[in-house]
Amino acid sequence: MRSFLKDNALSLFFLVLFLLALAGQSVAGNADYNERQVAEGGAALSWAEYVTSSDFAVDVAENWQSEYLQFLLFIMATVWWVQRGSPESKEPGKEGTESDSDQQVGRHSEPDSPAWAKTTGLRLKLYSNSLGMTMGLIFLLSWLTQSLAGRAAYNAEQLARLQDPLSWWEYVGSADFWNRTLQNWQSEFLAVLSMVVLSVYLRQRGSPESKPVGAAHKATGVEG
Amino acid sequence: MNRRITFIAISALLAGLTGCASAGHGAAGQAAESFHGAVAGGQGEQACALLTPRAAESLRSGGEECAQAVLSLNLSGGAIRRAEVWGDEAQVRLEHDTVFLHRFPQGWLVRGAGCQARGDLPYDCEVEG
Q: What is the pLDDT of residues A77-104, one digit of tens each?
A: 999 999 999 999 999 999 999 999 999 9
pLDDT band, very low/low/confident/very high, at B9 (cuts 50, 70, 90):
low
Interchain proximity A148–B17, CB inside 8 Å: yes
B113 found inside a domain: yes
- Considering CB atoms only, which of A52, A156, A162 is closest to B16? A52
Closest by CA to A188, choosing from A75, A84, A65, A89, is A65
- Residue B12 resides in a domain: no
Which CATH number belongs to the domain containing residue B124 in this structure? 3.10.450
Between CA B102 and CA B87 the distance in angstroms is 9
* pLDDT category of residue B4 using cuts at 50, 70 and 90: low
**How many domains would you assign to chain B?**
1
A163 touches chain B (CB under 8 A): yes
Provide the pLDDT confidence category of residue B23 given band limits of 50, 70 and 90: very low
Residue B11 lies in a domain: no
Question: What's the pLDDT score for residue A67?
Answer: 97
Closest Cα of chain B to A190: distance in Å?
A: 30
pLDDT at A19 > cutoff 90: yes
pLDDT for residue B1: 46
Query: What share of chain A in percent tops pLDDT 90?
Result: 93
Domain that holds residue B45: 24-128
Residue B10 lies in a domain: no
Residues A53, B16: C-beta atoms closer than 8 Å:
yes
**pLDDT tens across A156-202, in order?**
999 999 999 999 999 999 999 999 999 999 999 999 999 999 999 99
Nearest to A180 by CA among A156, A148, A210, A133: A148
Whether this model's ipTM surpasses 0.90 comes out as: no
- The per-residue pLDDT for B56 is 94
Pairing between strand B98-104 and B89-94?
antiparallel
> What confidence score (pLDDT) does residue B7 get?
52
Q: How confident is residue A39, by pLDDT bands cut at 50, 70 and 90? A: confident
Q: Taking the C-alpha atoms of B108, B112, B115 and B121 in order, what is their torsion angle to the nearest 10 degrees? A: -110
B123 falls within a domain: yes
Tell me: pLDDT of B120 over 80.
yes
CA angle, residues A76, A77, A81, in degrees to nearest 5: 135
Burial class, A215, CB count within 10 angstroms (exposed 0-12 / middle 13-18 / buried 19+): middle
CB pairs under 8 A between A and B: 72
The residue of chain B with its CA nearest to that of A56 is: B17
**What pLDDT, on a 0 to 100 scale, did the predictor assign at position A221?**
77
Give the confidence band of B51 by pLDDT, cuts at 50, 70, 90: very high
CB contact under 8 A, A164 and B115: no
For residue B21, is pLDDT > 60? no
- Is B52 inside any structural domain? yes
Alpha-carbon span B95 to B35, nearest angstrom = 14
Residue B81 in any domain: the answer is yes
Q: Tell whether the model's pLDDT for residue A76 goes beyond 90.
A: yes
Say yes or no for a CB contact (<8 Å) between B18 and A54: yes
Run of H or E residues at A128? helix A122-128
Is residue B54 in a domain?
Answer: yes
Closest by Cβ to B122, choosing from A52, A53, A162: A162
